[in-house]
Amino acid sequence: MRAELGAELGAEQPETIAAIVAAHRAGTLTPAETIARTYRRIRDHNDPAIFISLRDEKDAVAEAEKLAARTDAAGLPLYGVPVAVKDNIDALGFPTTAACPAFSFTPAHDSTAVARLRAAGAIVIGKTNLDQFATGLVGVRSPYGIPRNSIRDDLVPGGSSSGSAVAVGAGLVPLSLGTDTAGSGRVPAMLNNIVGLKPSLGMISNAGLVPACRTLDCISVFALTVDDAALALSVMAGPDAADPFSRDRPLGAITPFPTGFRLGVPRKGQLIFFGDKKAEAAYADALQRWTVLGAELVEFDLEPFYETARLLYEGPWVAERYLVIKDLLASAPDAIHPVTREITAAGARLTAADTFSALYRLQGLRKIAERTFAKIDALVLPTAPTAYTTAQVLANPIELNSRLGTYTNFVNLLDLCGLALPASMRADGIPFGITLLAPAGRDAMLASIGRVFHADTKLSLGAKGVAQAPLAALPASSGDEIPIAVVGAHLSGMALNGELTALDAKLIEATKTAPDYKLFALRTTPPKPGLLRVEAGKGAAIELEIWSLSSSAFGKFVNAIPAPMAIGTVRLADGRSVKGFLVEPEVLRDARDITAYGGWRAYMKEAAAKQVS
């Protein structure tokens, strides 16, 4: 293979998802070469504590070669991207351990999140280490060892998603999945100088996730850039009948940095750094950077957020952790890490009265948070107040772990989304990061401003010293234009295209859907197709066109659409979401499944040829 000739090219090699996919599409690098490079780096890095299970290299390379042979491969948003998965998330072909050998089981199928990654072209290469049962923010509570922090060997890697964060920070993979209940997708991001995206609750299905606190858990994303993390999120986002906590929350569009943006900063004296003056100075520098970028800093009261954070471990939510492992606690308590056992066992002593009392208080705190966000667009806080060495944490495991969660523990209780960003590299070699927080559903807004901040820092990516590439240009649009995806009779040159051109619609691009749709030929006059979203991996990428309409023309066009057609959200192959034609499922009994044609044009071409013959 070309990638095996000569020494590694370091920064000249594509490191980000965007660069890797671009190289695969251009043919300058094959997916098989990328996978082989991943395994070579894993061997060179030589840290057996990062992965609990690692896939056989030959199998992974063979999958990459099979993927490259597909005719639709280049259109996949994660074409040939190697991915690591935290070992409390099911991935077919790997045991799920949650870092507890006595708990281990072999899943029968992928978790929904992993299935959607694979359908988008990603290749899963291994399952990563974690604080046992995702209980901890330090990354040292695992019988599989302590992953080395990718920036400084003596620091804790952060947890609970320790292996996933280190794998990205060390440049082994450009993308990994973590989970986040109390900060497990954010604290390790800071400690490894990478991006940690904690989506809105329910945005990514938790089907196939070993729960920690089922009402608060979410699968999170680690990547080198915000754009990479947002792309991965867009691929996985979407409702799932297999998860009763899932919500229909597409990511939405990444936009230019808005004017008049208001960032909430705590009132003077409310921040806690536990004596770490370098962290305090780094946070002040980050705020100065935000003001230069054009954000307005608005003070808010942090105390209600601190109170919410105390509820997580002092309140009844620890009982959710107890429910997950109560049988193991009863039958084999020594199989559980002693710190995890001490924390979790407390959940057995909580009463229903304790639970309702805490729920009542939480509802009041949520109302306070709502009022706070009425005056600001997002909060900007330190991701963690300080950093600790492994030796310090092992000597004082519970108190120091708790300190790391100072600015993370309240987030899921208040149903906020979060984006952890590298902010600076301190003079002592410790990375410092900030986290943006906003109410659920504002994930795209956080990505829009976060990407600009991260680029402005000019920090290298992860631990490899790779320079950031210039920010990718956003799709051009005027404020009055609305894009709409069409898949059938409204395509250019087709029977109903005149309805668009009569409204001065403009053709923006021809592209494909994400690979989780089916196309049906309906019994209508003129002939029309129906596009239906299906379970990840059960559909295909369908050809479509995106047209642009003024807002008034868009309203006229949508109002004229007859049943059984409807306008909904269509996910594209590159991860974007746009409004487009979908069909109501109940009319498909008499319809013909034409998914195999890949699009309406191909189907109509064959139908026309049959009529001529």
What CATH number should be reported for the domain holding residue 34? 3.90.1300.10
Tens digits of per-residue pLDDT, 443-474? Answer: 999 999 999 999 999 999 999 999 999 998 87
Question: Which range marks the domain in which residue 87 is found?
Answer: 2-457
Q: Is 460 exposed, middle or buried (0-12, 13-18, 19+ CB in 10 A)?
A: middle
**Cβ-proximal residues to 270 (8 Å cutoff; 6+ apart), any chain:** 301, 302, 303
Distance CA 438, CA 417 (A): 6
- Please give the C-alpha separations between residue 268 and each of 271, 294, 299, 306, in angstroms, as whole numbers: 7, 21, 8, 15
- The token duo for 297 is 């800093």
The amino acid occupying position 461 is: L
Q: Is residue 468 part of a domain?
A: no
CA of residue 130 relative to chain centroid, distance: 18
Hey, what long-range contacts does 345-349 have (CB within 8 A, 24 or more apart)?
A: 346/318, 346/322, 347/316, 347/318, 347/319, 347/320, 347/321, 347/322, 347/323, 348/319, 348/322
Q: Distance between CA 234 and CA 249 in Å, rounded?
A: 10
Active-site pick, 160, 161, 205, 448: 160
Residue 503 lies in a domain: yes
Query: Is there a single domain that holds both residue 287 and residue 386?
Result: yes
pLDDT of residue 326: 78
User: Residue 335 pLDDT more than 90?
Assistant: no
My answer on whether 551 and 408 are in the same domain is no
pLDDT in tens, 60-114: 999 999 999 999 899 899 999 999 999 999 999 999 999 999 999 999 999 999 9
Q: Are 514 and 577 in contact (CB under 8 A)?
A: no
The 8-class DSSP code of residue 603 comes to H
Percentage of the chain beyond pLDDT 70 is 96
Same domain (yes/no): 520, 392: no
Domain boundary among 457, 473, 493: 457
The answer to whether residues 409 and 530 belong to one domain is no
Tell me whether residue 471 is in a domain. no
Is residue 470 one of the residues assigned to a domain?
Answer: no
Q: How confident is the model at residue 367 (pLDDT cuts 50, 70, 90)?
A: very high
Pairing of strands 565-571, 577-583: antiparallel
Kindly state whether residues 434 and 497 are assigned to the same domain.
no
* 234 included as an active-site residue: no
The three-state DSSP-derived secondary structure of 9-42 is: CHHHCCCCHHHHHHHHHHCCCCHHHHHHHHHHHH
Same domain membership, residue 577 and residue 542: yes
Q: How many domains does the structure of the chain reveal?
A: 2
Considering the domain boundaries, does residue 199 fall inside one? Answer: yes
Strands (E), 389-516: 416-425, 431-439, 481-486, 506-512
Better-predicted residue by pLDDT, 610 or 120: 120
* Residue 462 belongs to some domain of the structure: no
From edge to edge, which strands make up the β-sheet containing 592-593? 528-533, 517-522, 592-593
On whether the CB atoms of residues 388 and 397 are closer than 8 A, the answer is: no
Per-residue b or e along 203-215, where b marks 16 or more CB atoms closer than 10 Å to that residue's CB: bbbbbbbbbbbbe
Residue-wise pLDDT for 586-601, tens only, equals: 778 888 999 999 999 8
Same domain for 439 and 577? no
pLDDT the model gives residue 8: 44
Q: Residue 275, SS3?
A: coil
When pLDDT is averaged across residues 409-417 and rounded to a whole number, the result is 96
Active site residue 220: no
Asked whether the predicted pLDDT for residue 145 surpasses 80, the reply is yes
Same structural domain, 340 and 385: yes
Query: Which one is predicted more confidently, 526 or 459?
Result: 459
DSSP 8-state class, residue 105 = B
Q: Are residues 36 and 181 in the same domain?
A: yes
2 has pLDDT over 70: no
pLDDT of residue 216: 93
Q: State residue 12's pLDDT score.
A: 60
Are 485 and 448 contained in the same domain? Answer: no
> Residue 249 pLDDT more than 70?
yes
CATH number at residue 545: 3.10.490.10
Q: How confident is the model at residue 54 (pLDDT cuts 50, 70, 90)?
A: very high
Q: What are phi and psi of 340, to 5 degrees?
A: -60, -40
> What are the tokens at 399?
């108190």
pLDDT (0 to 100) of residue 11: 40
Bridge-partner residues for 424, per DSSP?
Answer: 432
- For the purposes of burial, counting CB atoms within 10 Å of the CB of 502, is it exposed (0-12), middle (13-18) or buried (19 or more)? exposed
pLDDT for 285 equals 98
| Domain end call among 457, 492, 525 | 457
User: Do residue 498 and residue 449 come from a single domain?
Assistant: no
227: pLDDT strictly greater than 90:
yes
Q: pLDDT band at residue 5, thresholds of 50, 70 and 90?
A: very low
What is the rounded distance in angstroms from the CA atom of residue 251 to the CA atom of residue 233? Answer: 7
187-215: average pLDDT:
96
Q: Is residue 70 part of a domain?
A: yes
Provide the pLDDT confidence category of residue 122 given band limits of 50, 70 and 90. Answer: very high
Which of 457, 492, 519 is the C-terminal boundary of a domain? 457
Both 409 and 281 in a single domain?
yes
Answer whether 198's CB lies under 8 Å from 186's CB.
yes
First to last CA, the chain: 48
Percent of the chain exceeding pLDDT 90 equals 67
In whole numbers, what is the pLDDT of the chain averaged over residues? 91
Top mean-pLDDT range of 33-37, 321-325, 566-570: 33-37
Res 475 pLDDT > 70: no
* pLDDT: which is higher, 133 or 355: 133
Mean pLDDT of 290-318: 91
- H helices of 458-571, in order, are 497-501, 551-559
CA distance 199 to 415: 10
Q: Exactly one of 111, 142, 184, 448 is catalytic; which is it?
A: 184
pLDDT band at residue 480 using 50, 70 and 90 as cut-offs:
low
- Global pTM reads 0.79
Token duo for residue 447? 């990505």
Specify if 466 maps to a domain. no
Q: Name the least confident of 6-10, 392-396, 494-498.
A: 6-10
Known catalytic membership, residue 86: yes
Q: What is the mean pLDDT of residues 161-187?
A: 98
CB of 84 within 8 A of CB of 163? Answer: yes
Task: Supply the pLDDT for residue 479.
Answer: 53
Whether the predicted pLDDT of 426 surpasses 60: yes
Catalytic member of 86, 198, 518, 528: 86
